[in-house]
Amino acid sequence: MSKTSLRLLAALDLLDYAHRLADIGTDHGYFPIMAVTTKKAKMALAIDNKAMPLASATFNVTKAQLDNKITIALQDGLENLPVDVDVVSIMGMGGKLISSLLDGANLNLVRRLIIGPNKDHYELRQWLENHSFCIIAERFVRDQGHDYQLIAAVHGQMHLSEIEKQYGPYIIKECSPLFRNHIERQIALLSQALSVTNDLQKRISLLDRITILRELIA
């Protein structure tokens, strides 16, 4: 994974400013390094629950001469977040795992979440809605052959439709060429499945889904 990945750049775009960013599941530490280097974060905590990724983060932070600004921490999820952490980023995990990590956390003093689930987007947005978080911006990017949804959320209320929980209200509204392309590929896969099944119930549900997706990009 490259530190200049389009996915991480899009996440950086969603970061307004952090006094202290906590990057959970930091792995190589690229996101906190990018945030501090670009002065979008004054300081950062790079957290991971495994020693190997943290060794890589430690190496990269030292190489970037940011040891005085980025603290490396071996810990599970959002346990014992220092009170001055105002932005939390969690990326590169499934939405269900991210939700379970957020579940156990005290987020009262956290102003903004930056989240990049690699699957289970529906469950993640449902978690945000249920826990009084409101999405304020999203990005849809393609990076090294994969499509990613990035989400920024703050405390507040929102009510998302079923399709918005899957693809995001801002992503749907923007309907970028990349997103359109993604949906067209989904429609092609569903149409292919439709062409090889005679099961009536399957055909109905495939046709319903194709109609919903066609309307999304109409």
Ligand X SMILES: C[S@@+](CC[C@H](N)C(=O)[O-])C[C@H]1O[C@@H](n2cnc3c(N)ncnc32)[C@H](O)[C@@H]1O
Binding site for ligand X (CB under 6 A): 1, 24-27, 47-50, 53, 76-77, 91-93, 101, 116
- Closer residue to ligand X in complex, CB, 48/138: 48
The two beta strands, 41-48 and 112-117, are unpaired
- CB of 210 vs ligand X, minimal distance in Å: 32
Residue type for 68, please? N
- Closer residue to ligand X in complex, CB, 102/187: 102
- CB of 178 vs ligand X, minimal distance in Å: 19
Residue that the structure tokens 């987007």 belong to: 121
- Closer residue to ligand X in complex, CB, 101/102: 101
* Contact yes or no for 22/81 (Cβ under 8 A): yes
- CB of 97 vs ligand X, minimal distance in Å: 6
Q: Which two tokens stand for residue 192?
A: 């292919």
- Rounded to the nearest 5 degrees, what angle is found at the Cα of 214, between the Cα atoms of 153 and 190? 100
- CB of 23 vs ligand X, minimal distance in Å: 7
Q: Which helix (H) or strand (E) holds 141?
A: strand 133-143
- Closer residue to ligand X in complex, CB, 105/160: 105
- Closer residue to ligand X in complex, CB, 44/93: 93
Residues 6+ apart with CB under 8 A from 136: 152, 153, 154
- CB of 79 vs ligand X, minimal distance in Å: 8
